[in-house]
Amino acid sequence: MASRGPAGSHPISAEPLSRSIFRKFLLMLCSLLTALYVFYCLAERCQPLSGPVAGVPGLRVPPGPRELALWPAAAQRKRLLQLRQRRRVWPPRPREGSYEEPDTPGLVVGPGGSGAGSSVAEAPPGTLALLLDEGSKQLPQAIIIGVKKGGTRALLEFLRVHPDVRAVGAEPHFFDRSYHKGLAWYRDLMPRTLEGQITMEKTPSYFVTREAPARISAMSKDTKLIVVVRDPVTRAISDYTQTLSKRPDIPTFESLTFRNRSAGLIDTSWSAIQIGLYAKHLEPWLRHFPLGQMLFVSGERLVSDPAGELGRVQDFLGLKRIITDKHFYFNQTKGFPCLKKAEGSSKPHCLGKTKGRAHPAIAREVLRRLREFYRPFNLKFYQMTGRDFGWDG
């Protein structure tokens, strides 16, 4: 009900009490919702600051230049390159490295999304300069050339945590299968790098490819070569397990191992056996590269002491020792070390299910015979490399 005021004036509001309380309640609710929204936005913008190379937990865009300004310089440069490359691609592409690891989570970046895309003008001068310099694609200065099933994926994934390492995720197979496509094609596969960053790739079949040493040397005599080696017997079983997972009808490991089982004659033409003759495969490499330009990583120690092996690799590559035991944790379910934060993510990351498969049980006598077969090759390999990998002790 409304009563009239003095002549010519508007009616005086005589709202019922309940309506005024309702309006106040609405006002409070709106304020509360606004506060919640502001709090939510702030929380999302703060999260990228939690780690240098890491992405954002639960957030679907990389951090912006303001956040990057607080990171160490090397991490900033790497992150900037990553986010610029991701923004260039729309619709989003899976994260590099997801080719073999389909369970690797990918970052999703929308066109003009928040983060860096929205605030180039706000960036501090140093960051702006970095944004203008987008880096360039370089031929790799270091390659993980082998060995198949040695632990090459683990090594590359771990190395990619380093802010000064940029690597192509998929195996390019340039020096064995695609050499005819030329170096320009190869270079184009590489991620962009800024000065001081190392470009890397891994293709484990290079180690056993006859032409690979001369071809890599023709690209650059200075290329650093990394070989992850693993007990050739376990490696052979791992190789067999991989084939078995794709073709379950293949003969048993035992029957493929022997040319004549009763005579104990090993079939060295079977690739699973052949690849483990490391001393033999190493010879042609040493005709093109000095030993000091090659690093042999123990596949076993990469599992038992990843930080220790990564320390050696970082030294070899002339990198600051940034990857340490703080980066790893042992995942009991997986049975392997995993990263606390993978490159481009703040989430723990284990390798996919194609890495660390359960091996079939192999007859004891077959294992004994294989160990006996490999022993002289292993000893020669220890001599050539100057490191006893402990497979025969």
Binding residues for 3'-phosphoadenylyl sulfate: 149-153, 230, 238, 355-359
Q: Is 133 helix (H, G, I), strand (E, B) or coil?
A: coil
Q: Is there binding between residue 357 and ligand PPS (CB under 6 A)? A: yes
What is the closest distance, in whole angstroms, from the C-beta atom of residue 329 to ligand PPS in the complex? 11
Q: Are 321 and 163 in contact (CB under 8 A)?
A: no
The nearest distance, CB 304 to ligand PPS, in angstroms, is 10
For ligand PPS, the closer CB: 45 or 301: 301
Q: Where are the alpha helices (DSSP H) in 97-191?
A: 125-132, 152-159, 182-189
Q: Which of 49, 189, 279, 303 binds ligand PPS (CB under 6 A)?
A: 303
In the residue annotation, 149 being an active-site residue is answered as yes
Question: CB of 197 within 8 A of CB of 164?
Answer: yes
Residue 149 beta carbon to ligand PPS: minimum distance, rounded to whole angstroms: 4
Q: Which of 74, 229, 319, 351 binds ligand PPS (CB under 6 A)?
A: 351
Return the residue matching tokens 């409070």: 28
Segment 35-94, which members bind ligand PPS (CB under 6 A)?
A: none
Q: Which residue in 302, 322, 342, 362 binds ligand PPS (CB under 6 A)?
A: 302
Number of chain residues interacting with ligand PPS (CB under 6 A): 18
Closest separation between CB of residue 228 and ligand PPS, Å? 6
Query: Nearest Cα to 70, choosing from 87, 46, 86?
Result: 46
Q: What single letter denotes the amino acid at residue 77?
A: R
Binding-site string for ligand PPS from residue 171 to residue 210, where x marks contact by CB under 6 A and - marks none: ---------------------------------x------
- Give the SS3 label for residue 226: strand
From 149, 202, 224, 341, the catalytic residue: 149
Q: Cβ(81)–Cβ(191) under 8 Å?
A: yes
Reported for 279-286, long-range contacts at CB under 8 A and 24+ positions apart, including other chains, are 279/377, 279/378, 279/380, 279/381, 279/384, 280/377, 281/146, 281/207, 281/208, 282/227, 282/381, 282/384, 282/385, 284/210, 284/213, 285/145, 285/207, 285/213, 285/225, 286/384
In the complex, least distance from residue 44 CB atom to ligand PPS, rounded to whole angstroms: 31
Residues 120-159 that bind ligand PPS (CB under 6 A): 148-154
Spatial contact of 324 and 315, defined as CB atoms under 8 Å apart: no
| Interaction residues for ligand PPS, span 218-257 (CB under 6 A) | 238, 241
Q: What phi and psi values does residue 130 have, to the nearest 5 degrees?
A: -65, -35
Instruction: Give the footprint of ligand PPS on this chain (CB under 6 A).
Output: 148-154, 204, 238, 241, 302-303, 336-337, 351, 355-357
Residues belonging to the active site: 149
